[in-house]
Structure 1
Amino acid sequence: MKILVAEDESTPALFLRRTLERLGHDVVVALDGMKAWELLQQGELRLVITDWMMPGLDGLELCRKIRGQGDSAYTYIILLTAREGLQDRLAGLNAGADDFLSKPTDPAELAARVAIAGRIVAMQEELERKNLQLAELATTDGLTGLKNRRCFNENLITACSFAVRYGYPLSLVMIDVDHFKSLNDSFGHPAGDSVLATLAGILRSETRDHDIVARYGGEEFAILLPATAAAEASLLAERLRSLTTSYPWPQRPITVSVGVATTGGDLATWSELLEAADRALYHSKRSGRDRITHHDSFTQDVVSHSTCDSLKA
């Protein structure tokens, strides 16, 4: 474990360093509180052993600054002190210390306290890892590995707000697999799932790292293209359509219908952009499928929900 020792006296600092290194730890020494704080900003140090009394920034203030970092990874703090009074210990705990070591420090006690710290840090790291996994699961579609609809909608709202505020174009591409229901009926749902997962891979491979690609629901996908004008978005949409059509699908040929919309003109909010892309998608459906439509290129008539549902069949 990498340990930061903050101790302004050279002899105790050397003792701590050598003892901890004999225990197999990687030790960094700071001779004052400000240097310790600087080192903490440069890299992740999960255990800090700090003296109470130091020039510039004492141990209590260092504890408070570490705890004030908020959502950063948890740092375990052992406070070195010759103070034994209850009020002093309470002051240390209130400042954010996890444990105490008496000065002068006994090597056996140091080893025991550090071992306890190591177990707690390991448990905390595992908890953080699991929390990251849960956060990823909450935003990811399990079948395709793409962002899910909830995550996509959150990104859409934010991206549209920035696009309007700063005057850059934002394009939205909506993609729907043609005749997907009949594919499931003919070959079974595992075959349909395989098509969706493969199509997700095509979409990921042809988009940029900062584009947001999501499974919007069922056989429908959505791609958010920041700083992308209508012509560029239409070219990408056509490339995706063509790649899908030419892919060697095992059961039968697969095609997609695509709708594209770009901010500007009458599209200034996320809901307007989404509605325009959706209308463009269903225009592609009504026009024969296996094609793309940009919302600027047709008369935007209203499509009823019943018509939309029948076109998906």
Structure 2
Amino acid sequence: MRILVADDDAVSRRLMEKILTQSGYEVMTVADGRGALDALSHKDGPRMALLDWMMPGIDGPEVCRQLRARQEGSYVYLTLLTSRQDRTDVIQGLEAGADDYLTKPCNSEELKARLRTGLRILMLEDKLVEAREEMRMRATHDALTGLLNRGAVLNFMKVEMARCRREHTPLSILLCDVDHFKQVNDVHGHLVGDQVLRELAHRLKQAIRPFDGVGRYGGEEFVLVLSGCGSEQLRHRSGDILDAVRSKPIETSAGPLHITVSIGAFTMDSLEWSGDVEFPLGRADGALYRAKMNGRNCVQFADHLSTNDGEHVGLPTVS
């Protein structure tokens, strides 16, 4: 565990560093409050700190106060070192954000015991953060594929729709359906089908940019949300996504399987947002239906026109 010692007295710093190093800590030292605040604010900064109350520039309680005002990063366990005995001063330090205090000169055994208490608190905090992240993942991600689940990917789409409208940029939505997936399950079993879906999810995720979105819409259907992607760019990117899936067989426990997908794609510009996801999803779904009817393993694009009976006019197929 890394620990910071902040004290303007060089002798005190060296003595504290020796005690802590012998106890197995990785010690970092600074001579003033500004240095302490900078070190503790760093993303990979120490998780524990011993702060002298009186330091040049920024004193110990003010370091505590400013550090607690920052919400980002992991929790840091702060101990104030002070020669003050007055209970009012102790209360002031704790209210500033300190977790503990020690009276100088410190007893080395008491110091080690107090720090062990701090370590237990940090371990508990880390477990709580881990549990919270696991709960968040379960609530927003599909258990089989690891992609965003239906609710999360639709929420991502809503956020991107609002952002693209503000920034006057296009947004493309793709609905992908695995071709002949029922046959995979019927012939090879559902476990093999699950293997196919997991690998497809991996390939789809690798085929998009880090800030794009991809989620499992349901069954063997996936939704891709491509931010800032206009219709001309979509033609190239959708072809790349097709190739990412069909470029090589998927290795399964039943042997390699050649899998393809059909894609319905729709692009809207910033003037067309209606505020809900049903409109672009409906257009993409209509295009996906035509892709299935046109032999699968292709992309169909929905444009902004429609025939008199409400069927969308598709753009040329990419195969």
Same topology, TM > 0.5: yes
Shift in Å at residue 270 of structure 1?
5.1
Contact 2:165 2:270 in 1 (8 A): no
Query: Which residue of 1 is the match for residue 35 of structure 2?
Result: 35
Q: What amino acid is aligned across from residue 23 of structure 1 in structure 2?
A: S
Distance in 2 between the 1:198 and 1:238 partners?
A: 18
The structure 2 residue matched to 1:263, chosen from 261, 268, 277, is 268
> What is aligned with 1:153?
154
Contact kept? 1:81, 1:103, Cα under 8 Å: yes
Q: Does 1:74 align with 2:75?
A: yes
TM-score (norm 1): 0.86
Q: State the AA in 1 paired with 2:27.
A: V
Structure 1 segment 31-70 matched on structure 2, within 5 A: 31-42=31-42, 43-70=44-71
Partner deviation per Cα, 1:210-232 (whole Å, 9 max, x = no partner): 32221111111011112222122
**Percent identity among equivalent residues?**
36
SS of 2:148's partner is: coil
The match for 1:4 is 4
Would the alpha carbon gap of residues 245 and 15 (structure 1) be closer, same or farther in structure 2, given more than 3 Å must change? closer
Report the CA distance shift for 1:13/1:281 in structure 2 as closer, same or farther (over 3 A).
same
Shift of 1:253: 5.3
Note the alpha carbon deviations across 1:79-108, whole angstroms, 9 max, x for none: 112223333322222222111111111112
Quote the Cα distance in structure 2 between the aligned partners of 1:279 and 1:215: 18
What is the rounded CA distance, in whole Å, between the counterparts of 1:189 and 1:291 in structure 2? 25
What are the within-5 Å matches in structure 2 for residues 166-205 of structure 1? 166-205=167-206
- Residue 224 of structure 2: SS of its match in structure 1? strand
Aligned partner letter, 2:73? S
Per-residue deviation at 1:261?
Answer: 0.9
Show CA shifts across 1:23-75 (max 9, x none).
22222222221221122223421101112222322222211112111242111
Does 1:25 pair with 2:25? Answer: yes
Q: Report SS of the residue matched to 2:225.
A: strand
Find the counterpart in structure 1 of residue 229 from structure 2: 228
Tell me how far apart the structure 1 counterparts of residues 186 and 161 of structure 2 sit (CA, whole Å): 38
1:308 is aligned to none
Larger deviation: 25-34 or 278-287? 278-287
> Which residue is 1:289 aligned to?
296
Select between 34-43 and 246-255 the one with higher mean Cα deviation: 246-255
Higher relative strand content: 2
Unaligned runs of 5+ in 1: 304-313
Partner SS state of residue 147, structure 1:
coil
Opposite residue 280 of structure 1, the aligned amino acid is A
AA matched with 1:263: M
Q: Give, in whole Å, the separation in 2 of the partners of 1:80 and 1:27.
A: 16
**What displacement does 1:289 show?**
3.3
Shift of 1:199: 1.7
Q: Structure 2: 5+ residue runs without aligned partners?
A: 312-319
Q: Name the CA distance, whole Å, in 2 between partners of 1:117 and 1:265.
A: 52
Contact 2:216 2:223 in 1 (8 A): yes
Using the TM superposition, name which of 261-270 and 56-65 deviates more: 261-270
Q: Following the alignment from structure 1 to structure 2, what is the Cα–Cα distance between the partners of residues 192 and 206? A: 21
- Give aligned pairs, total: 303
Name the structure with the higher helix share: 1
Contact preservation (8 Å) 1:173, 1:233: no
Quote the offset at 1:9 in angstroms: 2.3
Q: Tell me the C-alpha RMSD between the 2 structures.
A: 2.6
Structure 1 distance, partners of 2:216, 2:244, is: 18
Contact 2:168 2:270 (C-alpha < 8 Å) held by counterparts: no
TM-score normalized with structure 2 length? 0.84
Q: Secondary structure at the match of 1:294?
A: strand
Do the aligned residues in 2 keep the contact of 1:156 with 1:270 (CA within 8 Å)?
Answer: no
- The one-letter code matched in structure 2 to 1:215 is R
| Contact 1:281/1:292 (8 A) holds in 2 | yes
Output the CA distance in 2 between the equivalents of 1:76 and 1:49. Answer: 9
Q: How much does 1:236 deviate?
A: 2.6
1:306 aligned partner? none
How has the CA–CA distance of structure 1 residues 179 and 85 changed in structure 2, closer, same or farther, with 3 Å as cutoff? same
